Amino acid sequence: MTEIMTEKTEDLKIEAPIVEKYKLQTRDVNVYYGDFQAIKDVSMNIKPRSITAFIGPSGCGKSTFLRLFNRMNDYIEDFKMEGKIKIDDNNIYKNKIQLEQLRKDVGMVFQKPNPFPKSIFENVAYGLKIQGIKDKKLIADRVEKALVQADLWNEVKDNLNKSALTLSGGQQQRLCIARTLAVEPSIILMDEPTSALDPISTAKIEELIHHLKKDYTIIIVTHNMQQASRISDYTAFFYMGELIEFDKTKKIFTNPEKKRTENYITGRFG
Amino acid sequence: MRKIKELIIEKSLLSSALVTIAVTVGIILVLAIEAFLFFKEVSFFDFLTDTQWTPLFTEKHYGILPLLSGTLLTTFIAISVALPIGLSISIYLSEYAPRSFRKTIKPLLELLAAVPSVVYGFFALVVVTPYLQQFMPSLSGFNSLSAGIVMGIMIIPFVSSLSEDALFAVPKALREASYGMGATRLQTAFKVVVPAASSGIIVSIILAISRAIGETMIVAIAAGQQPRLTLDPTVPVETITAYIVQVSLGDVQHGSLEYRTIFAAGITLFVFTFLLNTVSFRIRKKYREKYE
Ligand SMILES: Nc1ncnc2c1ncn2[C@@H]1O[C@H](COP(=O)(O)OP(=O)(O)OP(=O)(O)O)[C@@H](O)[C@H]1O
Ligand SMILES: [Mg+2]
C-alpha cells in the first residue's frame, strides 16, 4: 500500500501540471504491423471534454492510432507498439493494467453499426451485465438514461424487446452509442461513425456528439472535412503514419501551418 | 462432332443423377412395401406399445420400444460425451487458439471420424469396458455405457468441426463491440459469439445425433444383442441397427415375418434420421439467409 502511494506522489510531482490539464497524452508512439511501420513518433495531448477529429488520407493510420487508446489492436497477431500513452494518470500499456477496466473507461463506436443480434434492451444492458450488475431496476434505469442520452428513447421505448437488427442504420448507430454510454466511460472513440449513414442520420449523430461533449472526451475519425470543421474543437492531420499538424480546428481549417495540411483540407490531394 | 460429344457428356451426367434418385426411391419403396406387409400381420399399435421384442423366439413379441430405448440410450450417452468436449474444442479453436494451431489441429480432429467404427467397437469392448469394470464391478461385459462413450468420442469432430465453422463465421465486429465494452474473452465467447452462432451449433449437434443413431458396428460389438426396455447403462441392450445386423447375418427365411421385422425396424430408423435431417436442413437454410 505505502509503496503504491509513494509511486503515485512521485508521479504527481513530475507530471502534475500536465496531468491536470490533459485527459489523454501520447509520447513518441510508434506502431508496427510486422515490418511495416504504421505510426511514426506521434506525441499528442488531448484535453478533457473536448472533441478531437483525426483526419488524413486513407491508410495514414487514423484507425490504428485511435484503437491504441482502448488497446483494440492487441488482438492483431503481429502488432507491436512503442512509446507511452497515458489516460488520466495511468500508462495504459503497462503490463499491470486491466484491459477490461480500461475499456469500461474508454468506449468505442465503430464505422459500421454493429449491434448484437439481441433485443434493443439487451444490447444496452450488455455492458452492465458483464460487470456483474444484477439489480434489475438499476439496469433498467441505466438503459433508459443511455437511450435518452443517445436520443433514441422516444423511438424505441415501446419496443425495447424487439431485435436490434430491425432498426434502421442510423438508429442502430445511435443504439451502439447508447450501448457505449451505458457503461459510463469518460472517453468515447469513434471511427468514422457516420460513414455508413444517410445525411439525416448523420446530422442527428453530429448533434448528439455535440451534446455529449459536456460530459465526455470524444475523439472521432472522419473523412468528411465539413464534419470535422463543424463538430470538433481540435483537429489532427495524419499523413503516412505521421502527425503533420495538430491544433484548434478553426486554425487548421482557416490558417494551417503546413502546406500539406492546406492541400489536404482544400481537396488538392488525398 | 463436338456437339455430339457434349450431348453424350450431358446425358451421362443427367443419367447418373437419375440413377442416384432412382436408387434412393427404390430403397425407400422396398422399405415401405416390406414394412407394409409386416404391419398386415402385426398391429401398428402393438408395434409401438409392446414392451418386448422377441421375433426370433417361440413366444413372439413385436414391440419396437426395447430397440428404440437401446438406440436412444446409447445415442444419449454419446451426445453427453461429444457435446461438452466438442463444443469446448470449437470455442477454444475459434476464440483462443492462434490461427496456425487451428489450421493444424482441425484436420487432426477430423481423423477421429475417419477411424473405422469396427475399431472403435473393439476398443469399447476390450479396453473401455474392462477399465470401467475396475470402478463399477456390476458393469456387464456388454453395456450401453462403454459403447455410448466410445461412440461419443467418434462423433466429437461432427460437433467440433461444424460448430467451429459457425463460431468462426461470426463477424469480427461483434467481438470488437463486446471487447470494447470491457468484456473478457470468455464473456464474449459465451454471451455474444455462441448465441450468434447458435443455429450452426444446433445443426452440428443434430448431425451428430443422426450419426449416432445410425451407428452400427460399435453398438453391435460392445452394447450386446439383448433387446431390453431399460435406461440402465450398465446392462446389455440392443439398438435398432444392431438388430438389423444380427438378423441380416442370421438365417431367417426370405419373405418370412421374421425377415420383415428388419424392414419395420429399418423404417423406424429412417423416420428418425429423416426428421433430424429435415430439421437441420431448415435451420441451415434460415441461418444462411441471416448472414447474407
Ligand atoms: N492488421 C493489419 N495488419 C497489417 N497492416 C495493417 C493492419 N491494419 C492496418 N494496416 C496498415 O496500416 C496502415 C494504417 O491503417 P489504418 O487502418 O490505421 O488507416 P486509416 O487511416 O484508418 O485508413 P482509412 O481511412 O482507410 O480507414 C495501412 O497502410 C494499413 O494497410
Ligand atoms: Mg480507418
Question: Are B28 and B77 part of one and the same domain?
Answer: no
Q: What is the CATH number of the domain that holds B158?
A: 1.10.3720.10
Query: Has residue B58 been placed in a domain?
Result: no
Task: Report whether residue A222 contacts ligand 1, using a CB cutoff of 6 Å.
Answer: no
The whole-chain average pLDDT of chain B stands at 92
Longest Cα–Cα distance in chain A: 58
A3 has pLDDT over 50: no
* Residue A146, phi then psi, degrees to nearest 5: -65, -40
| Pairwise CB contact (< 8 Å): B195 & A180 | no
Query: Has residue A169 been placed in a domain?
Result: no
Report the pLDDT value the prediction gives residue A94, as an integer from 0 to 100: 87
Report the pLDDT value the prediction gives residue A5, as an integer from 0 to 100: 43
Q: What is the CATH number of the domain that holds A94?
A: 3.40.50.300
Query: Has residue A125 been placed in a domain?
Result: no
Question: Are B139 and B34 part of one and the same domain?
Answer: no
Question: Are B69 and B29 part of one and the same domain?
Answer: no
- Nearest ligand 1 atom to the CA of A238 is 21
Choose among A206, A207, A115: nearest CA to A156. Answer: A115
State the cell numbers at A247: 491544433
**pLDDT tens per residue, range A64-82:** 999 999 999 998 989 999 9
Question: Are B37 and B70 part of one and the same domain?
Answer: no
**pLDDT tens per residue, range B174-227:** 999 999 999 999 999 999 999 999 999 999 999 999 999 999 999 999 999 999
Q: What's the whole-number mean pLDDT along residues B242-250? A: 90
Q: What's the whole-number mean pLDDT along residues A198-222? A: 94
Choose among A4, A5, A6, A49: nearest CA to A24. Answer: A49
Query: Has residue B49 been placed in a domain?
Result: no
Query: Which of A77, A112, A183 has the CB atom closest to B181's CB atom?
Result: A183
CA of B176 to the centre of ligand 2 (A): 14
Query: Has residue B54 been placed in a domain?
Result: no
Overall domain count for chain B: 2
CA of A92 to the centre of ligand 2 (A): 22
Choose among A59, A80, A57: nearest CA to A68. Answer: A80
Query: Which of B99, B173, B195 has the CB atom closest to A110's CB atom?
Result: B173
B288 has pLDDT over 80: no
Rg (CA), chain A: 19
SS3 state at A244? strand
SS3 state at B269? helix
Alpha carbon of A66: minimum distance to chain B alpha carbons (Å): 13
Assign A17 a pLDDT band (cuts: 50, 70, 90): very low
A209 has pLDDT over 50: yes
Question: Are B30 and B173 part of one and the same domain?
Answer: no
Question: Are B36 and B104 part of one and the same domain?
Answer: no
Query: Has residue A197 been placed in a domain?
Result: yes
Query: Has residue B278 been placed in a domain?
Result: yes
Q: Do B182 and A183 form a contact (C-beta atoms < 8 A)?
A: yes
Question: Are B85 and B123 part of one and the same domain?
Answer: yes
Question: Are B229 and B168 part of one and the same domain?
Answer: yes
Q: Tell me, yes or no, if B289 comes closer than 8 A to chain A by beta carbon.
A: no
A97 has pLDDT over 90: no
Report the pLDDT value the prediction gives residue B284, as an integer from 0 to 100: 82
A14 has pLDDT over 70: no
Q: Is B224 left (phi over 0), alpha (psi -120 to 50) or beta?
A: left
The distance of Cα A172 from the centroid of its chain, to the nearest Å, equals 18
Alpha carbon of A114: minimum distance to chain B alpha carbons (Å): 6
Minimal-distance CA residue to ligand 1 atom 29: A59
Q: Which residues have CB under 8 Å from A222's CB, separation 6+?
A: A53, A54, A55, A192, A194, A195, A228
Report the pLDDT value the prediction gives residue A12, as an integer from 0 to 100: 42
Query: Has residue B56 been placed in a domain?
Result: no
Query: Within 13 A of A126's CA, how many CA atoms are on the CB side?
Result: 32
- Residue from A35, A36, A78, A243 to probe ligand 1 pocket by mutation (most atoms less than 8 Å from CB): A36
Query: Has residue A219 been placed in a domain?
Result: yes
Query: Has residue A240 been placed in a domain?
Result: yes
Question: Are B23 and B120 part of one and the same domain?
Answer: no
A11 has pLDDT over 80: no
Query: Has residue A175 been placed in a domain?
Result: no
Question: Are B107 and B166 part of one and the same domain?
Answer: yes
Choose among B169, B166, B153: nearest CA to B201. Answer: B166
Query: Has residue A216 been placed in a domain?
Result: yes
Question: Are B9 and B100 part of one and the same domain?
Answer: no
Q: What's the whole-number mean pLDDT along residues B164-170? A: 93
Assign B283 a pLDDT band (cuts: 50, 70, 90): confident
Report the pLDDT value the prediction gives residue B285, as an integer from 0 to 100: 83
Query: Has residue B219 been placed in a domain?
Result: yes
A7 has pLDDT over 80: no
Domain containing B21 equals 2-41
Overall domain count for chain A: 1
**pLDDT tens per residue, range A122-157:** 999 999 999 999 999 999 999 999 999 999 999 999
The CA distance from B62 to B147, in Å, is 25
Residue B161: C-alpha distances to residues B91, B107, B109, B157, B292 (Å)? 10, 9, 8, 5, 22
Question: Are B13 and B92 part of one and the same domain?
Answer: no
Q: Find the helix or strand (DSSP H, E) in which B207 lies.
A: helix B198-214
Query: Has residue B50 been placed in a domain?
Result: no
SS3 state at A53? strand
Q: Tell me, yes or no, if A43 comes closer than 8 A to chain B by beta carbon.
A: no
Domain containing A197 equals 2-112+187-265
Assign B23 a pLDDT band (cuts: 50, 70, 90): very high
